[in-house]
Amino acid sequence: MKGNLTAIVFILKILIVFMCGTALVQFFKAYKLIAVPEEAETMAREQFEGMHGFANQPVTLAIFYALYGLLLCYLVYVLLQLRRSFIRLNNDEVFYENQPSEFKKASSGIIIFAKTKYLLFIFVGVFWFNNPRIIFAEIPMLLISYLSGKIIYVFHYLSQKGTLLKEDNDLTI
């Protein structure tokens, strides 16, 4: 079990570093669009493949990249909280007082990230860049993120029940 928890903590660390890098790339793209607005069409076609038209809107695309970068920063914050919970589990702190609320915050954060990212891509992709295919292209990532959040919510439920059982056991002794 310890090996599995160590692997989860390590994977979360890699994911956090990757998401930080991705957020930095998004902020760089936003800056690049403000500095060199001529590249807006190329960057829009890379981000929203198959778009049917392009109104030259570098400001809109820069705002999109900045918002997506902020959203990724929020995900990094949530993943750091989740990693902290798994580190405590790895250190044999199985049922502690704040564990259920930590898992609930992490699951809610991941679900909020999934829904907000989907809405951001839909709003910008469909309404600004005329790409209705983005609705279906983003569904797999939405479902993966949403399912991950729900699985962590199950951890919340299990840790909540475990904490209650531990308190009952401590009171019995």
Locate 45 and state its tokens.
């076609």
Domain count, the chain: 1
Of residues 104 and 54, more confidence is placed in: 104
Tell me the backbone φ, ψ of residue 133, rounded to 5 degrees: -65, -20
Give me the mean pLDDT over the 124-151 stretch: 87
**pTM, two decimal places:** 0.85
pLDDT for residue 54 is more than 70: no
Domain hosting residue 107, numbered range: 2-172
The pLDDT tens digits for 121-132 are 998 888 877 778
What pLDDT is attached to residue 144? 94
Calculate the CA dihedral of residues 160, 164, 165, 171 and round it to 10 degrees.
Answer: 160
d(CA 116, CA 146): 11
Average pLDDT, the chain: 86
**93 in the Ramachandran plot: left (φ > 0), alpha (ψ -120 to 50) or beta?**
beta
